Amino acid sequence: MSSEVAITIFVFVLFAGLLIFEVPIAWCLAISGALGVIMLRSFGIGSGLLGSVPFQATASYTFVVVPLYILLGTLVMKAHVAERVYYVANRVFHRLPGGIGVATVAACAGFAAVSGSSVATAATIGKSSVQEMRRSGYKDTFAVGIVGIAATLGILIPPSLVLIMYGIISGESIARLFAAGVVPGVLSAVVYSVGVIVMARRNIELPAAGAAGPGIDVPKVTRAQAGRSLGYIVLIFTTIMVGIFTGIMTTTESAAIAVMMAVVILFIENRKKKGRDRWFDFSSALAETAGVKSMAFAILIGAAIFTFFLVAARVPYHAAEFLTSLDVAPIVIVVLILVVTIPLGMFLDALSILVIVVPLTYPTLVGLGFDGVWYGILLVKMIEISLLTPPVGLNAFVIASATGIKVERVFRGLLPFVAVELIIVAILVAFPDITLFLPSLVLD
C-alpha cells in the first residue's frame, strides 16, 4: 500500500471518527484535511491552510448570495406566506380526490419558489395542512407523508440553498442550476399529486370526531391575506427568474432585491402591529439567520481545506481511474454514485453529503461527458430522499415536532413517497433533457 493511500485512509477514518463524536462537520473537514496535507507535504503547508483558507474561501462577491437567500426564506416565513398560500391551494384543489393532499403539494411548491429550504417548508406548511387533512379523514401516516415529500420541493425549485452550495463547490453556474431546477421541480410536484390521488382511496376514511388532533391551533386566513401572499410569491419568484434569464441582473443581485422585497412585505403584513411589535419579526429573522449563515460558510471553509487534501492526494484522480476501469456503461457509474448517496443520507445532512460527494465524483462524471448541472439536480433529488429516510431524515423530525405525531409513524407515512421519488429520479436519469431543456433554451 502506498503512503498516499495509507494517508487517505487515515484522513477518512479520522474524519468519520470526529464526526460520530459530535465535532461539527466544518471542523471535522478542516482538521482532517489539514492533517492529511501535513502528512503528505509539510507541517508549514498544512498548518498554513488553516490560516489562509478562511479568507480565500469567503472573500468573494459571489458568495454573498448564500446569506441573502437564507435571510429571504426566513423573512417570507415570518410574513406567514406559506400558511396563506396553503389556504389558496386548498380552495382550488379541494374538490379533487385527495384534493387537500394535492393542495398541500401545490402550497409547498409555491412556497419553495421563494424559500430555499425544505425544512422551513415542512415546518410552516406542515402544521396547518396535517390538521386539515386529519379533519377530512386522511390517515395520519398519509397526511404526514404528503407534507414530508412535498416539502422537499424547497431545495429543488429555485431559489435553492442546496443548489447554491452545489454551484459553489463544483463551480457550476448558479443561474444554470436554478434554471435546471424549474422543470424537474414542476414534474416532481405533478408526480407527487398523481401519487396522492392514486393513494387517496385507501388512505382517506370518513372523518371521526376530534380527528384533527389535540393542541394544534391553525390561524384564520382572510381572502385578502391569501391573495396578497400569492401575489408576493409571484412577485419574488418572477424577479429572481426574470433577473437571471434576461441578464438584467446577476443571481446575487436578484437575491438582494428579493430580500429587500421580503423586508417590505414583512412590514406590510405587520402594519397593524404597534411600536416594537412591528419590528419584532424583522429583528428575530435577522437574529435567527446570523448563526445559520456563518455555519454555511464554516462548512465551505472546511470543504475547501478538505478538497485541497483530496487534490494533493490525487483522490479524485484515483476515483476517476477506478470508476472508468469498471466494465460498465457510463450511465451505470452515475446510477452507482446516486445509489451510494442513499446510505450516506441515512447518517449525514444535505450539506455534508454535498461537501463529501461532489469533490470526489464531479470531476469523474464531467470527464465522462455528463453535464454537471444535470448531475447537480440528480444529487439534490437523492438528498431529498435523505430528508425522508430514518434515522436522520430531518423533514420527518420537523413534521413530528410540528404535528405531535410520533416520528416512527411519520417515517412509515413517508415510505410510499420515497418510492415515488425514486421513480422521478429514474425519469430524470433516463431523460436528461427534462433537466437541461430550460437552461439551454434561456441561457445558452
Partner 1 sequence: MNHSSASTAVARGLKEFPSHLARFLAVIASAVTILAALLLTAEVLSRAIFDQSIRGLFEIMQPLVVLIAFLGLAEAERAGDHIRVTILTDRLPRRAKLGVHTLALVLSGLIVLWMLVMSWIELDKSIARGEFASGLLDIPVWPARVVIVIGLGALFLMYVQRSIESAVAFARFGGDGRTIADDEDVTDASSGGLL
Residues 3-32 that bind partner 1 (CB under 8 A): 18-27, 30-31
* Least distance to partner 1, CB of residue 122, Å: 10
Contact status: 400 vs partner 1 (CB under 8 A): yes
Closer of 210 and 291 to partner 1 (Cβ): 291
Contact status: 117 vs partner 1 (CB under 8 A): yes
* Least distance to partner 1, CB of residue 420, Å: 24
Each residue 230-269 as x (binds partner 1 by CB under 8 A) or -, in order, gives ------------------xx--xx-xxx-xx--x------
Closer of 150 and 383 to partner 1 (Cβ): 383
Positions in 126-185 near partner 1 (CB under 8 A): 161-162
Positions in 284-313 near partner 1 (CB under 8 A): 286-299
- Measure the CA–CA gap between 47 and 345, rounded to whole angstroms: 31
* Least distance to partner 1, CB of residue 105, Å: 22
* Least distance to partner 1, CB of residue 67, Å: 5
Ramachandran bin of 205, using left for φ above 0, alpha for ψ from -120 to 50, beta for the remaining angles: beta
Stretch that binds partner 1, among 97-105, 314-322, 348-356, 427-435 (CB under 8 A): 348-356
- Measure the CA–CA gap between 141 and 411, rounded to whole angstroms: 8
What is the per-residue DSSP string for 246-312?
Answer: HSSS-HHHHHHHHHHHHHHHHHHHTTTS-THHHHHHHHHHHHHHHHHHHHHHHHHHHHHHHHHHHHH
Closer of 4 and 349 to partner 1 (Cβ): 349
Positions in 32-91 near partner 1 (CB under 8 A): 34, 47-48, 50-52, 54-55, 58-61, 63-64, 67-68, 70-71, 73-74
Closer of 118 and 364 to partner 1 (Cβ): 118
Chain-centre distance for alpha carbon 43: 37
Closer of 161 and 204 to partner 1 (Cβ): 161
Rounded alpha-carbon distances, angstroms, from residue 397 to 21, 136, 185, 392: 21, 23, 23, 8
Residue 201, exposed/middle/buried by CB under 10 A (0-12, 13-18, 19+)? exposed
- Measure the CA–CA gap between 259 and 64, rounded to whole angstroms: 12
- Measure the CA–CA gap between 64 and 8, rounded to whole angstroms: 33
Contact status, residue 372 vs residue 168, Cβ threshold 8 Å = no
* Least distance to partner 1, CB of residue 170, Å: 17
Contact status, residue 160 vs residue 181, Cβ threshold 8 Å = yes
